[in-house]
Amino acid sequence: MASEFFPGIYLKITVHDILINGHGCNPKQNTTNCDVIPLSTYYMQYNKSYRFRLINSQTYGCPLEFTGHNLTVIATDGYPVKPVTFDAFLMLSGERYDVVVHANNDRNKKEAYIRVRALNKCALNKLQVFGRIIFVEDQLKVEKFISHVRPYTDQLDYHVPFKQNAVVMNHPTLNCRIGNHLCVADLKQKGVRGPSGGNMREVRPNREIPIRFFPKRLKFQPSHFHATDMVVNRAAANDMNKIIMTGTPVPGLTQDDSFVPYCNESTLANETAIEGMHFCPHLIQLKLGEVVDFLLSDVTYELEDIHSFHFHGYGFQIIDMGKLEQYKTNTTPYYNDTHPPTVKDTIGVPIGGFVRIRFRASNPGYWMFHCHFEIHMYIGMRLIVRVGDKSQMRSAPVGFPSCSDYLPPVIGM
């Protein structure tokens, strides 16, 4: 990012629009005439069902509420779940959902729509976008059809809910199973094979690693962190276990990294901190094959950020989740569940809540575990999970290029 080279620059981070497959227009945000900008359009034949593969590829951190026409969720993050029908569900940055849309309405209905509405901080800008579903008698004749289609105009105002008393899934600001709100932990794994699958509730973990986060604003120091979202000379800094991740000078998988001053919670006692935060390359070492719980908890819910954590190299199981009060009293809805848990690789931690994920460390290597809100990752909210030792990892091909920090000479000095 260019801001890395200009520490101290004031950056106002905001979102102007949401697009579906590059299409869309929000009349509240654009001066352009939205009537002439095409929306993402899908032609569906009556009485057929269509699989949509949804990817939340935003770089910002606003949950996206997806609503549409008779939705059935069948997979998340590529892992199948038993089909469940919802009116709406929330997608966090990095999450993927496979949904089936059924065109089983009567033939008087010619169109329906998909609505993607950004919530939380993005509600201020009333951000939403629509996609169109057009029902046709014969999909093979759609080609002729396209040029005659009118723009879809009957769009809901931002604050109007898609449906009264809608069943909403994955709403991380609300308690799971309260009212109509379900969480991803309510989905049930379906036939996931390999080391990520099976019922890991029944497996006793070898280790539990608590990962807490306390995002705060620190006094700006150009030698320690970059400028992002600067407010009155204080910069946002996002940690994991009070460590702001700094980069490593070499890629550990392909080069000797024995000199890299990796750190984690157990090494911090003798290191200096700035306002309680440590700046170092955060690394958690796991043994190959052990079963591990990460207990993620958000203890700063006044900030109202939903951190969506993504794990490279692994699918993990959602063993438990809820509010911190529920964790302390073992009263989450999932505490006594027995069904095989949902498998995912990206999970939003409820505001003021926790998630327990479990995985078998079967994939050796260096893997990033990070908040998928890009700015958070950039300002420290990431770490490396190293599984196994180098003898258990694949070595780099012969002649593989190497790299390291580069400090060019200053010309004219």
For Cu ion, which is the closer residue by CB, 230 or 371? 371
| String of contacts with Cu ion for each residue 257-276, x by CB under 5 A | --------------------
Q: Closest distance between Cu ion and the C-beta of residue 373, in Å?
A: 4
Regarding 376 and contact with Cu ion (CB under 5 A), the answer is yes
Q: Closest distance between Cu ion and the C-beta of residue 87, in Å?
A: 27
Among 75, 183, 371, 387, binds Cu ion (CB under 5 A): 371
- Please tell me the count of residues contacting Cu ion according to CB under 5 A: 4
For Cu ion, which is the closer residue by CB, 234 or 339? 234
C-alpha to C-alpha distance for 311 and 357, rounded to whole angstroms? 11
For Cu ion, which is the closer residue by CB, 373 or 378? 373
For Cu ion, which is the closer residue by CB, 69 or 307? 307
Tally of CB atoms within 10 A around 405: 8
Closest CA to 122 of 217, 14, 234, 272: 14
Instruction: Extract the runs of DSSP E, i.e. beta strands, from 281-345.
Output: 283-286, 291-298, 307-311, 316-323, 343-344
Tally of CB atoms within 10 A around 393: 18
Q: Which window, 128-136, 226-234, 306-314, 344-352, contacts Cu ion (CB under 5 A)?
A: 306-314
Q: Closest distance between Cu ion and the C-beta of residue 304, in Å?
A: 11
Among 115, 121, 171, 307, binds Cu ion (CB under 5 A): 307
3 state SS of 386: strand
For Cu ion, which is the closer residue by CB, 356 or 376? 376
Closest CA to 189 of 98, 81, 97: 81
For Cu ion, which is the closer residue by CB, 89 or 213? 213
Residue found under tokens 């460590």 = 243
For Cu ion, which is the closer residue by CB, 24 or 94? 94
Regarding 282 and contact with Cu ion (CB under 5 A), the answer is no
Q: Closest distance between Cu ion and the C-beta of residue 358, in Å?
A: 21
Regarding 309 and contact with Cu ion (CB under 5 A), the answer is no
* Residues facing residue 189 across a β-bridge: 81
C-alpha to C-alpha distance for 116 and 203, rounded to whole angstroms? 38
Q: Closest distance between Cu ion and the C-beta of residue 129, in Å?
A: 23
| String of contacts with Cu ion for each residue 325-364, x by CB under 5 A | ----------------------------------------
For Cu ion, which is the closer residue by CB, 121 or 376? 376
CB 346 within 8 A of CB 307: no
- Radius of gyration of the chain from its Cα atoms, rounded to whole angstroms: 23
C-alpha to C-alpha distance for 284 and 263, rounded to whole angstroms? 8
Q: Which window, 13-21, 46-54, 338-346, 373-381, contacts Cu ion (CB under 5 A)?
A: 373-381
Q: Closest distance between Cu ion and the C-beta of residue 228, in Å?
A: 12
Q: Measure the CA dihedral 100/305/209/224, to 10°.
A: 130
Q: Which residues contact 185 (CB under 8 A, 6 or more apart)?
A: 176, 318, 320, 321, 333, 334, 337, 341, 342
Binding site for Cu ion (CB under 5 A): 307, 371, 373, 376
